[in-house]
Chain A
Amino acid sequence: MNATPGGADPALWLPEPWRIERVRRELSDTFTLELQPTAGGAPLRFLPGQFNMLYAFGLGEVPISISGDPEADGPLVHTIRAVGPVTEAMRRLVPGDVLGVRGPFGSCWPVSGAEAEGCDLVIVAGGVGLAPLRPAILHVLRHRQRFGQVCIFYGARTPADILYRHELRRWRGQFDLLVDVTVDRATQDWAGRVGVVPRLVEGGGYDPQHTLALVCGPEIMMRHTARALLARGVRRERIHVSMERNMKCAVGLCGHCQFGPHFVCRDGPVFRFDVIEALMTVDGL
């Protein structure tokens, strides 16, 4: 035969069945699933920031970040916001139901590499964007002594939209973490900050020269946050953002997640800001 393509992967398209062990309601439209492999297989090894494709039988498959502890042998954890047919169907699932899982895919937050060692961490999340950052935060807490200052800046639309509320409160009580939460619109019972997340970044609490920043949220929020970080003197190659694009395959061959020359599913979702900064300023790329 003439030249044959290398390495066919028979399992490329096949989700593995995982059983839901626990469902936790987080917000009115957001919930967390804890899953175990039905075949009694091994836990899924992943890096903070990576995602899985979750398949709802007969309905569709969607990219969802992994939100659990990367170093625990516990269940696979996904926090999902119900926004359309597939994620709505997932909201109706109960313990015992089965979901298909394909993954993990994509790049990760650079928290375990040498570049993070000894520096201050600024972790900035907006809305459900805290879900992909949770594994990075859990990793940092586990290895707290490896880092300098650690700041977690979180913004939600309203107080009712604050994700992982109890955990945030616990982290806030920890003397070696700076946790600051803001909302776009306050309600009567809210005594905290009002305003957009980039404001929190402007408030400081870290040494810009020695800071590694991890940012996840809506694209516009990430742009403004990056600008605020740059203004304080954080270097562009030390800022990391997580991009979102339509995804159908997660393995670099459906074309849907393209962002300039990058496949977000394969080269992302986590990108170094300096790599995609120019692309982020172009409308409709």
Chain B
Amino acid sequence: MQRLSLAGLAVLLHVLWADRREIIGPRLRDGAITLGILHRLEDLPVGWSDTAQEAAQYRVVPRADSARFGHVTGPLSWKRWLFLPEEVLFRAVRDDQDGGFTLSATPTAPLRAFLGVRGCDLAAIAIQDRIFAHDPAYCARREATLIIAINCLEPGGTCFCASMETGPQARGAFDLRLTEWLDAGTPSYLVESGSAAGRKLLARLPIEACTPEDQARVEQALAQAATRMGRQLDTGGLAERLAARPGHRHWQQVAARCLSCANCTLVCPTCFCSTIEDRTDLSGTTAERVRRWDSCFDLEHSYIVGGNVRADPAARYRQWLLHKLAYWHTQFGTSGCTGCGRCITWCPVGIDLTVEAAAVAGSEA
């Protein structure tokens, strides 16, 4: 572990820009911590916090210090830069000669760095890596992306990464990992590398040595953070109990409140459903196939000739929750939930996954 001063953080950004990387990171916009392109160091949300999240409640408030990463997760997640909300899968041109067609696919994969990826979101990226392991466009973008993770010392009100074992320490596939440390309100950054690319990057930065005491302080702060999660979920035997109870009366009780608005699936960093749209130009000689984010809350999602399989909103909520917390294990060997809390915060009627899952898992019927 080494240390980077605030000026050192600026050098990190400049080194990335010099490498022609676009930097995506947290920004304050429209009263929320969102993610977007950073053009200057000052674009980071200096002295702002959004940790006081609750079901259907989100607010950004000033901090007493000048922390750059003193917030948690806002409505956006990194998936929109890897699994794009809309993407052309191929273009097709009709061949006048023989009625056939020629296809072309040109996935875009700009060089990027993600700055400030938290444990929950790092886990979400690892999950989507498995889902899209063969998708050429996803893989190209993923390989062009450098990940600079950040440890969480101040979890938010809807966070439960400790339950899902994805945080508050960022673990897994990062290139660099930062911990923001405040001394008398001024931040500096403890930094570790997690890959060869990360080590190379580190070698170009004005790093300072850090003491074993610094390291111990970080570890202690992380251990403390794990005890201050706003939510928790008992995952022991959870998948089995949920999957065994598709007829539980609680599904109807949630459905009575659920608006089927799909907010939860849009903010969720692991949700991967997509639909396809085919378009042609007016002359009908060129066509394109477009993939767009979809949601299992959409009635059409389960359409087959003869009817929609999940016509009942209760069946759709059940699909979302069982997929996340039960079926995902069978499909991908991991939970589909990282405990980021977004779906709780951004549900307009405050439906809380941790509460609903516990209600179904807690009683037989």
Tell me the A residues contacting B by CB distance below 8 Å: 1-10, 12-15, 17, 19, 38, 57-61, 83-84, 96-98, 100, 218, 244-246, 248-249, 251, 253-256, 258, 260-261, 263, 282-285
Contact = CB atoms under 8 A, between A and B. Distances in A.
Interface in B291-307: 291, 294, 296, 301-306
Interface residues of B, number: 73
Contacts of A1: 143, 146, 175, 195-197
B278 interface: yes
B279 interface: yes
Ranked nearest first, the 10 interchain pairs of A and B with the lowest CB-CB distance are A284-B315, A58-B280, A58-B287, A255-B273, A8-B139, A261-B330, A3-B173, A261-B327, A2-B173, A5-B129
B105 A14 contact: yes
A12 B129 contact: no
A8 B100 contact: no
B129 A3 contact: yes
Contacts of B100: 17, 19, 38, 98
A280 B214 CA distance: 57
Given A13-B90, A38-B98, A284 B310 contact: yes
Interface stretch (B40-48, B130-138, B159-167): B130-138
Interface residue SS majority, chain A: loop
Given A7-B134, A59-B278, A245 B304 contact: yes
20 contacts: A2-B173, A2-B195, A4-B143, A8-B135, A9-B135, A13-B89, A13-B136, A57-B287, A61-B278, A61-B289, A84-B305, A97-B99, A100-B92, A245-B302, A246-B303, A253-B272, A253-B274, A254-B273, A256-B302, A285-B319
Interface residue SS majority, chain B: mixed
Contacts of B94: 57
Contacts of B175: 1-2
B197 A2 contact: yes
A2 B301 CA distance: 34
A255 B174 contact: no
B330 A4 contact: no
Contact of A284 (B133, B135, B278, B312): B312
A61 B90 CA distance: 13
Interface in B141-185: 142-143, 146-147, 172-175
Interface in B95-145: 98-101, 103, 105, 126, 129-136, 138-140, 142-143
Given A2-B174, A10-B136, A261-B326, 19 more contacts: A1-B197, A2-B146, A3-B126, A4-B142, A5-B130, A5-B143, A8-B135, A8-B139, A13-B136, A14-B103, A58-B280, A60-B276, A84-B305, A244-B304, A253-B135, A255-B301, A256-B294, A256-B302, A258-B323
